[in-house]
A and B are shown apart, each in its own frame.
Chain A
Amino acid sequence: MTLDVAAIRADFPILSRQVRGGNPLIYLDSGATAHKPLAVLDAEREFYLRHNAAAHRGAHLLGEEATDAYEHARSRIAAFIGADPGEIIFTRNATEAANLIAYSVSNAATGGPAGGPAAGTPAAGLAIGPDDEVLVTELEHHANLVPWQQLCQRTGARLRWFPATPDGRVDLTDIGDLVGERTRIVAVTHQSNVTGAIPPVARIAAAAHAVGAIVVVDAAQSVPHHPVAVADTGADFLFFSGHKMLAPTGIGVLWGRSELLGAMPPFITGGSMIEVVRMEGSTFLPPPQRFEAGVPAVAQAVGLAAACDYLDAVGMENVAEHERMLTGRAIEALTAVPGVRILGPLTTEDRGGAVAFEVDQVHPHDVGQVLDELGIAVRTGHHCAWPLHRALGVQASTRASFYLYNTPDEVDALADGIRTAQKFFGTP
């Protein structure tokens, strides 16, 4: 193995918990949220213990230290994805980041006099309306689907989508028709949280740029799991959540190209992001501060920076290789169980570590219940990707997702647990 998994697991105290029936925890739900190593917990705690203050406000020593900690975290995260710190906006999570873009665009469409775009301003170039199209895919997590649906409702633009292939990839057959002169935004997942599929984002981005559309990439399942450099993706915007990459809940990242961020009106307004405030009106700071209203989540940002340090120490290439090994083992083990159908590609090529499956005649809830009883944590349902499930012809599925702290034994336990569920419900 490329990783010293035992050493890694020792950094995560929660993994030594016993759960139902005194069974050891087998956590296969990192796609929902990941656990936190001591280094991240210590960094967050250290901030509160010694440096806590409101960043960008205090003219006192603690205020300086908090500001330094926050801006250092910003630089650290920027380096993790090969970006410029000025292009990193801290949000609450990936979902908020997607909404930030969508609301900024509709604010651009309505922020001028008489509720239309403010002609002649950089923001006007972002405005979209009834003659425009927003293009997504059928694989999208609701976070990268619903905000675009709502944007289209608000502006009259038309939503279109790449369909899913039967093996859970993005079907690019009609790309010539779907990407055209009306396309203004293309939003695509970097890695499906259900099928694990990794679409050819750079290719899609090239097609989008050829028609002047901006490209938004949902990296919630990619940045935590393999090396990502924003320049290689072709993205204009890219977002992810801290809690899925060993960091605290409540911190996410939106990366955007500086000329776009510079043109965008704010989404959430209030303190911190203003330049001058009078009763009659206010002006706003340049990005990234323009998009960071309120007292910053410094402790969480510090935790995320510590998570970047932890992951870089392990090596993202090593993390990816470890997951590839586990995913391959899971695909092999599950396809060997009669009555189990994996929803997604059966190869590890362009495919990450989310393995969703159905078990003949046993509903996912019931599969999950038996697995839970054995100490195995998976997710059951539609995993916030309901249209994808319909496209794959299922009501719901069971999903196992792997990370750097999982072991081959845990994959084997999953397969055994499925067999136990089948026996319990009396199906072959």
Chain B
Amino acid sequence: MQLESMYQEIILDHYRHPHHKGLREPFDAEVLHVNPTCGDEITLRVTLKDAGGEPAVADVSYDALGCSISQASASVMTDLVIGKPVSEAMEISAAFLELMHSRDAGEPDEDVLGDAVVFAGVAKYPARIKCALLGWMAWKDATAQALAGTAQALGSTAQAEMEQT
């Protein structure tokens, strides 16, 4: 069956034993994303840290209900972004988005995407692309909010210092 090309063993493994699942504290931002077509949802938290002057992903924690593709993709995503600088993680995210829209033509770069290359088969089933992207979109949104929050925090600290002098 063609199904094996989409439902690779790695995907089924992540579905049965999702990595980094659960909601943890502390966190910098939390989002709730939903797939309106099917009701799949993910609540996702991002914690950032400072890594030599630029923000990096300290933790991604989540709670989710959904199909094997959406759950496995979120799990693989957490493996790929945790510990990386945000800028690098965003590049991986862009590469994954490109893979999803590739209709399974072209060679995914395993150096950039790691385990996420196994989702190449999903691109042949357009109805499932949103499933694979749910976790990534949630992470991007939460990270953007976390960064905006950090900027606000820095801004108000500077303001307070100015007012004191």
Contact = CB atoms under 8 A, between A and B. Distances in A.
Q: How large is the interface on A (under 10, 10 to 19, 20 to 34, 35 or more residues)?
A: 10 to 19
A395 interface: yes
A389 interface: yes
Contacts of A380: 38
Contact of B69 (A365, A382, A425): A365
A418 B81 CA distance: 36
A395 B65 CA distance: 8
Interface residues of B, number: 20
A395 B40 contact: yes
B125 A369 contact: yes
B38 A369 contact: no
Interface string B111-154: 00000000000000100100100000000000000000000000
A366 interface: yes
A295 to B, nearest CB: 33
A363 B67 contact: yes
Given A365-B131, A424-B7, A396 B38 contact: yes
A396 B3 contact: no
Interface in B4-43: 6-7, 12, 37-41
A84 B50 CA distance: 74
Contact of B2 (A20, A366, A426): A20
Contacts of A370: 3
A364 B68 CA distance: 10
A118 to B, nearest CB: 39
Given A20-B2, A424-B7, A425-B68, A389 B131 contact: no
Contacts of B38: 364-365, 380-382, 396
A281 interface: no
Contacts of B69: 365-366
B3 A424 contact: yes
Interface of B: 1-3, 6-7, 12, 37-41, 65-70, 125, 128, 131
